[in-house]
Amino acid sequence: MAALKSLIENIPQHQEGLPYSIYSSYRKQHIHDVPIVKPLFIAVLQGEKRLGRDSEQICKSGDFIFLSNSPNTEIRNIPKDSFYTALLIEFDPSDFDHLLPPNKKPPVSQHCSGNITPDLELCLKQFLEWTQVTPTSLWTHRRKEIIELLCHMGYENVLSGLIQQTLGQKVHHIISADIGKEHSAASLSKQLAMSESTLRRKLKNEGTSIQHIKDQVKLGHGLHLILSTQQPINLIAEKCGYYSQSRFTERFKERFGTTPTELRKTK
């Protein structure tokens, strides 16, 4: 993976709005209840990632894992030879269009994992290079290539990203598209073409609520910014809709089991 590591070291990092993220640390990170809403591909380039309360899934350097969705994943990022480094690519539902053969149901799977082969490394390298020079409207084509290659390699469980979204996930995506906006129950129900009472009832049946999803979106975005940028924590708090850094820190620790400052010190 020397070529992929070299590319990552030499392209601008800590930018928002890219279709990928680089997470790196030199101390162990232990984070509770990490929300995975969109399908997520993680390539571990250095160190080790452990998922689950009992570390039932272990990804070492040179491995990848593809997560379909999970509202509360426990994660440990463990440095080896000084650092932990991983490439993360989040997929949109439209990236899976036309990838499943007719009359075939998508697999039901929380995740699949395997080794980063030379072909997969080259595909990832091209994805990173491509997105530096092309408009965002074309990024989906390269993401489709990654999915198609994984399927060709025998990892058809990645097509679990085609499973019909829950109402909670749809609400999550609407709020995520504009975190700074105040999304009222009225505006959400209008976008989803249902009454407010129906929206609340259906979310309750899924074991969630509008406020719970709002908190999940804001804190999840805050976690991402802490891990992938060098922005001041007070600015990150504001971007997540918290105008009090202390309140942001309090809610962050309640959710993830660590404070933004403690997590930032591991980077």
Dist CA 265 CA 267 (whole Å): 6
- Per-residue pLDDT for 28 more than 80? yes
Per the structure block, which two tokens stand in for 16? 């928002």
Specify the DSSP element, H or E, that contains 255: helix 245-256
Please check whether residue 62 is in contact with residue 1, taking contact to mean a CB–CB distance below 8 angstroms.
Answer: yes
Dist CA 244 CA 234 (whole Å): 8
Residue given tokens 């491995």 in the structure block:
63
Sequence-distant (≥ 6) Cβ neighbours of residue 54 within 8 angstroms:
none
Average pLDDT in the chain = 90
**In this predicted structure, what is the pLDDT of residue 70?**
74
Residue 119 — pLDDT band, cuts 50, 70, 90? very high
CATH 2.60.120.280 applies to domain 2-162: yes
Residue 38 — pLDDT band, cuts 50, 70, 90? confident
User: pLDDT > 70: what percent of the chain?
Assistant: 94
Q: Of 31-40, 92-101, 252-261, which gets the smallest average pLDDT?
A: 92-101
Dist CA 256 CA 223 (whole Å): 9
| Phi, psi (degrees; rounded to nearest 5) at 30 | -125, 110
**In this predicted structure, what is the pLDDT of residue 104?**
74
Instruction: Tell me the Cα Rg of the chain.
Output: 19
Instruction: Delimit the domains of the chain by residue range.
Output: 2-162, 167-264
Dist CA 45 CA 22 (whole Å): 10
- Per-residue pLDDT for 188 more than 90? yes
E-strand ranges in 123-182 read: none
**In this predicted structure, what is the pLDDT of residue 149?**
97
Per the structure block, which two tokens stand in for 99? 């990838």
**In this predicted structure, what is the pLDDT of residue 14?**
57
Dist CA 266 CA 25 (whole Å): 5
DSSP 60: E
Query: What is the DSSP pairing of strand 57-60 with strand 48-51?
Result: antiparallel
Q: What share of the chain is helix, strand, coil (3-state, %, to 5)?
A: 45, 20, 35
Convert the pLDDT of each residue in 213-250 to its tens digit: 999 999 999 999 999 999 999 999 999 989 899 999 99
Mean pLDDT along residues 62-81: 89
Q: Do domains 2-162 and 167-264 have the same CATH topology?
A: no
DSSP 192: T
Domain at 167-264: CATH code: 1.10.10.60
- Per-residue pLDDT for 164 more than 60? yes
**141 CB neighbour count, 10 Å cutoff:** 12
Task: Pick the more confident residue, 131 or 234.
Answer: 234
